[in-house]
Structure 1
């Protein structure tokens, strides 16, 4: 039985479509109070941080703990380890692979909930290690035919595009010169950067578009413009407490009265209330441990099935 999953073994064991369904179920359980999930511990600075996340699932008694070192100018930026424990034993996994997979899966859940069912055009802002899983997740829930990528470093964008063209040969994939060019006719936008300032202006977006923002994870970091957060028909976050403290866009909006806390919905609740898919919609995620738990549970099932 595999009890220590490498990054490649995580990928082989958990397809994106399975991760999306597992994360969807975990968010529903989170909303129902079935997880004990302490606040994330964050040490260091925005450029060089150590994160510790944990979650315990009351109905099963299974738990996960993840430690991650995030150095933004390092490649890879995230080096992490995950430990899963349940009544049958324990396993470990390369948590960088788990993190990109579960973050993509959350985007898939939110996009499936909020994006136009006929969405075909995806804009990707950022070409780091999280980027490919964002594309995989959106493509798992919508029939994406066109992808436009923008990254401040053009060479990195070109490398990502070359890899994605091999993986998605049926998809038209281009590189944009600016973020505004990338999002101009998009149906879905995924922001996966470490930006401190908004990547585009509200006027750059179509009137109907769904925007996912998963890159910024500190109060000083923002990928989205204030007026998008203020005027979006729906703003959904992974967990309100975490977003209030860690998501720069949400922290700023609440601090300056741009949006009321009561007008921000958690993803687990939104899966039940089913918000209207109208105008511009936003999903902001900083990541919660229940997502790691969901993917780790699939790894545990895989390990025991293969033994």
Structure 2
């Protein structure tokens, strides 16, 4: 039997805090070699790119992939999940909102492993589609003392700041970084938005905005001067993440699956997480939807 799950279903049944907890379990399982994920594969056509991201999640005995096609006619995301114990059950989930929620949940989960404070100052760079769930996810695990919103277009930052009940301060420049415990950049910038000189003595940075070679949000010196750089999949990062490809010392790169099972090994003041997206995140988030809908 084939089940189709709409974007509206995802909005209704995928809770961001529940997603944070599930992603923690998924990467712990991955680190313990019980679950698996491959790097993104791309097929390039004349006018389109077909992307596939397969994974297996042992906790629920599910396997599947996120796949999406993008090109001049638009983009469409879906997650396909098989119940391994009953392959006749096939779930196809619209994944536009799912990807937005799981991306916010993922950066919040990783941040929680590195920043132990209850209250933080938070800067969000970029006011587009992904920014809202970045903020909501961070607010679900931290008390946000100061929230700064920066966009290259100040009016966009101002409009974003009016959408929420949080006390969000739209900023005309990035001097606010010096007052930030956590910084998330979620833009499509092709050139660096900030450099190391603009940062405080201690920080955690989430770089979320691109999985396409040639784009970069942070200057080279940010990653080179950080204590640790976390990647979901190093092979994928070496193909798609300009910031990681250009690092001088790649020995400081740690895959998230290895970091999460050895958190106490790392005592750092300056950390960067470069998020690219892997299929394990999507099938874990998709399972939450299916479970809450009571179809699996």
Count of matched residue pairs: 291
Q: Trace 1:128-139 onto structure 2 (pairs within 5 A).
A: 128-139=128-139
CA deviations 1:42-76 (Å, max 9, x no partner) are: 2459x9744221212356541122222456x99xx
CA–CA separation in structure 2 for the residues paired with 1:144 and 1:216: 26
Question: Is 1:187–2:181 an aligned residue pair?
Answer: yes
Q: Which secondary structure does the structure 1 equivalent of 2:161 belong to?
A: helix
CA–CA separation in structure 1 for the residues paired with 2:119 and 2:216: 25
CA–CA separation in structure 2 for the residues paired with 1:302 and 1:95: 16
Q: In structure 1, what is the equivalent of residue 107 of structure 2? A: 107
Q: In structure 2, what is the equivalent of residue 149 of structure 1? A: 149
Q: In structure 2, what is the equivalent of residue 62 of structure 1? A: 62
Q: Structure 1 segments of 4 or more deviating over 4 A?
A: none
Which among 82, 86, 102 is matched to residue 85 of structure 1?
A: 82
The answer to whether the 8 Å contact 1:37/1:290 transfers is: yes
Deviates more, 1:87-96 or 1:24-33: 87-96
CA–CA separation in structure 2 for the residues paired with 1:153 and 1:5: 36
Question: Is 1:298–2:295 an aligned residue pair?
Answer: no
CA–CA separation in structure 1 for the residues paired with 2:36 and 2:136: 30
Q: In structure 2, what is the equivalent of residue 233 of structure 1? A: 227
Deviates more, 1:58-67 or 1:191-200: 58-67
CA–CA separation in structure 1 for the residues paired with 2:96 and 2:267: 32
Q: In structure 2, what is the equivalent of residue 214 of structure 1? A: 208
Q: Which secondary structure does the structure 2 equivalent of 1:144 belong to?
A: strand
Provide TM-score, normalisation by structure 1.
0.86
CA deviations 1:169-195 (Å, max 9, x no partner) are: 2x21011112x2342311110010111
In structure 2, stretches of 5+ residues that fail to align are none
Deviates more, 1:206-215 or 1:58-67: 58-67
Provide TM-score, normalisation by structure 2.
0.89
RMSD of the alignment, in Å?
Answer: 2.6
Q: In structure 1, what is the equivalent of residue 270 of structure 2? A: 280
Q: Which secondary structure does the structure 1 equivalent of 2:157 belong to?
A: helix
Q: Offset of 1:99 from its aligned partner? A: 0.9
In structure 1, stretches of 5+ residues that fail to align are none
